[in-house]
Amino acid sequence: MRLRALLDTDALGLRLLGGEDELDRGVRGVMTTDLRDPSRYLSGGELVLTGLAWRRDAADSDPFVRLLVQAGVAALAAGEAELGTVPDDLVVACARHRLPLFAVHESVAFATITEHVVRQVSGERAGDLAAVVDRHRRMMTSGPAGGGPDVVLDLLGSDLDLRAWVLSPTGRLVAGPKAGGPGLPEDVCAKLAAEHLAAVRSGRRGPHRVLLGSTTYSLFAVRSGGRSPQASREVRETVLSDWLLAVDADAGDWPEERLDLLHGVTQLIAVERDRRDAARAVRRRLAQEVLELVQTGAAPAEVAARLRVAAPVLLPGLGAAPHWQVVVARVEWEGGEPAGGPVAQLLLEEILVDPLATGPEPSDRVAVADTGDEAVALVPLPAVSSEHDGSEPGILADALLGSVRDPLSAGLGDDGRLTLGVSASVHSAEGLRGALEEARHARRVAAARPGRVCAAGHQELASHVLLLPFVPDDVRRAFTARLLDPLRDYDRRHRAELIPTLEAFLDCDGSWTRCATRLHLHVNTLRYRVGRIEQLTSRDLSRLEDKLDFFLALRMS
- Do 421 and 531 lie in one domain? The reply is no
pLDDT at 180: 54
Instruction: Report the distance separating Cα 281 and Cα 303, nearest Å.
Output: 20
- Do 199 and 153 lie in one domain? The reply is yes
pLDDT at 358: 40
Is residue 470 scored above 50 in pLDDT?
no
Instruction: Report the distance separating Cα 455 and Cα 447, nearest Å.
Output: 8
CATH code where residue 412 lies? 3.30.70
The percent of residues in the chain predicted with pLDDT above 90, rounded, is 22
- Do 355 and 414 lie in one domain? The reply is yes
- Do 94 and 182 lie in one domain? The reply is no
Domain boundary residue, one of 235, 252, 279: 279
Residue predicted with more confidence, 460 or 84: 84
CATH code where residue 71 lies? 3.40.1390.20
- Classify residue 133: in a domain, yes or no: no
Instruction: Report the distance separating Cα 241 and Cα 383, nearest Å.
Output: 33
Q: Minimal CA–CA distance to 268: which of 54, 160, 121, 102?
A: 121
- Do 339 and 418 lie in one domain? The reply is yes
User: How much is the average pLDDT of 3-31?
Assistant: 87
- Do 169 and 259 lie in one domain? The reply is yes
Residue predicted with more confidence, 538 or 305: 538
- Classify residue 444: in a domain, yes or no: yes
Alpha-carbon radius of gyration of the chain: 26
* pLDDT tens digits along 242-270: 889 999 988 887 877 778 878 878 887 88
- Classify residue 466: in a domain, yes or no: no
Q: How many other CB atoms are found less than 10 A from the CB of residue 482?
A: 12
- Do 305 and 232 lie in one domain? The reply is no
- Classify residue 353: in a domain, yes or no: yes
Domain boundary residue, one of 246, 261, 279: 279
Mean pLDDT value across the chain: 80
Q: Poorest-confidence range of 105-109, 395-399, 440-444?
A: 395-399
- Classify residue 316: in a domain, yes or no: yes
- Classify residue 126: in a domain, yes or no: no
pLDDT at 187: 87
- Residue 486's domain comprises 473-556
* pLDDT tens digits along 268-294: 788 777 777 777 777 888 888 888 888
- Do 101 and 193 lie in one domain? The reply is no
- Do 309 and 268 lie in one domain? The reply is no
- At 353, is the pLDDT very low, low, confident or very high (cuts 50, 70, 90)? confident
Distances (CA, A) of 75 to 16, 53, 316, 474: 11, 18, 46, 66
- Do 305 and 413 lie in one domain? The reply is yes
The b-or-e profile of 152-168 (16+ CB within 10 A means b, else e) is bbbbbbeebebbbbbbb
- Classify residue 134: in a domain, yes or no: no
Tell me how many degrees the CA angle 95-99-104 measures, rounded to the nearest 5: 95
pLDDT at 360: 41
Domain boundary residue, one of 433, 461, 489: 461
Domain count, the chain: 4
Is residue 137 scored above 70 in pLDDT?
no
User: How much is the average pLDDT of 331-348?
Assistant: 74
Q: How many CA atoms lie within 13 A of 208 on its CB side?
A: 24
- The one-letter code for the residue type at 236 is R
CATH code where residue 479 lies? 1.10.10.2840
Residue predicted with more confidence, 386 or 74: 74
pLDDT at 120: 74
- Do 61 and 89 lie in one domain? The reply is yes
Instruction: Report the distance separating Cα 470 and Cα 328, nearest Å.
Output: 19
Q: Report yes or no: 427 and 383 within 8 Å, Cβ to Cβ.
A: yes
Is residue 385 scored above 80 in pLDDT?
no
Is residue 224 scored above 70 in pLDDT?
no
- Classify residue 467: in a domain, yes or no: no
- Do 443 and 517 lie in one domain? The reply is no
* pTM for this model (two decimals): 0.57
* pLDDT tens digits along 486-520: 999 999 999 999 999 999 999 888 899 999 999 99
pLDDT at 136: 53
* pLDDT tens digits along 79-115: 988 788 999 999 999 999 999 999 998 888 888 888 8
